[in-house]
Structure 1
């Protein structure tokens, strides 16, 4: 508006820039609230009247056309600003509801469970919804600390519904069932009733007992990463591949549990494929094993935050898939 005024004062009415004063309320309607738009619109109308009087166009067809242009654009800007603010309020309400739903569905895990320190990081690919198809849970049972980390096939509300089924069944079964295999069987039966054909959930179940033993049961999920107290880094691959949850009721044998020692200072990182399959612009996967040194930070939450920031730096943009990480660290005596 200042630029148009300066040019009009310098060049006079012959150039015909007076209607361009309406650009002020037009941009105000796109970027500001309705009060700001109304203020700038009133200023534009006053400026248009003043320039029309200065140029001798007041009461002429050109002056009236310019004034009507400013008034019309101001009215349109006001309507756009009101509508945009209303949509922003609705979006904020939806986000708050999604956050509450996520806290109910994926409630915060305990930071300490027995001799374990637990940390979680969750990044949804749907930033507006802040909720996705990755899942995790930690349950303290009479048999030990039991953990699940999984990834539901698909996206959207259907994936969220399946996540709710898996987490709900696990919370009950992890406390009641005597073995991880029995917990997996409960999950299989529940998903067989819930899921449609060719739908599945990759998941890994874990149990940490008081005898310093970690037991794993892998349903087609990426192998967790072990970082020993001595600095040794390795993937905890299962003895054999198994089908994901939801496909085991078709007569195929389920996974076999495998055990390993889990002692003071050791830690295990569970994650979903949104971490291991995060790619940069050249298509290179995120090298999780070579970045395991970031997990040696004193605080587990800070360690996961460092890994998450490193993943974002690797992809140089938003993630294309949900990414969940759960870190179990055996606290030193």
Structure 2
């Protein structure tokens, strides 16, 4: 950003102006009267001065003081340069704890956050994407992995059942095992492989039929109806139901505390993202698009987009006025004012005017 002349300012330091000898008695008397007057006048008019300063600021073009490079460096050299501090991590835990376990959740249904119109719109949007729905059904039902998994599961179940049954059948079971062995030697085929192949062919055919039936049954209207029906079942559920899936154990064992887990995942995700070239590329592109879109805007136009209007400025000025008054009344301000006036009265031209009077 543009250089800040006060970037090295220290409250307990004097201005870096050349040190001169003390002003004469006349100048000293003037300074002694002027400093408290300045403090009184500025304190009395603090709110008005703040409003005037903001009004002036609103008229200034954003690009005069903030460049695209400034914004991008702010993100890369500050926002993304550091991991979350322990203080910030602790604050995140406090906020999560306050939100998730707030008593108001007990009497607040899910429909308070999401209304029926939003769900209707979402259901209609999802139901229209029949190609994506068909791909999802195929991934869940019609793919070979699903058929193979089901085949192996049934094959193992049948084998376990047969082995257990034959072992309990005594002599008959031994005779059946001998028959199985004779069949495999005569046909040079493994009965297990034959059974598995049979199951796979039939299950694959069944999965394809199931996929076709699902696509035929899940029409656009049916998908929308199912989504709305599901919403109607859960919309009156209180938000506190989420607590049933969390553990609020506050013992020393953090492994059992869900808030600790959530915060830890937030921290890990932020650390991973802030170091990724992917996020840096996206932020660089997004900031460039935003900056060039608003390059001709004034600071006031940007503020208006955030609803910072005249009423908000009045409120802000009144809130900042006490802080400004305290700063003006501080010894730091008095010392700097005294030094500024001393330097002023030490100028040769001013000395001449004082000597004439």
* TM-score, normalised via structure 2 length: 0.18
Per residue, is there more strand in 1 or in 2? 1
Q: Greater helix share, 1 or 2?
A: 2
Instruction: Give the TM-score of the pair, scaled to structure 1.
Output: 0.18
Bigger relative CO (Cα 8 Å, ≥ 6 apart): 2
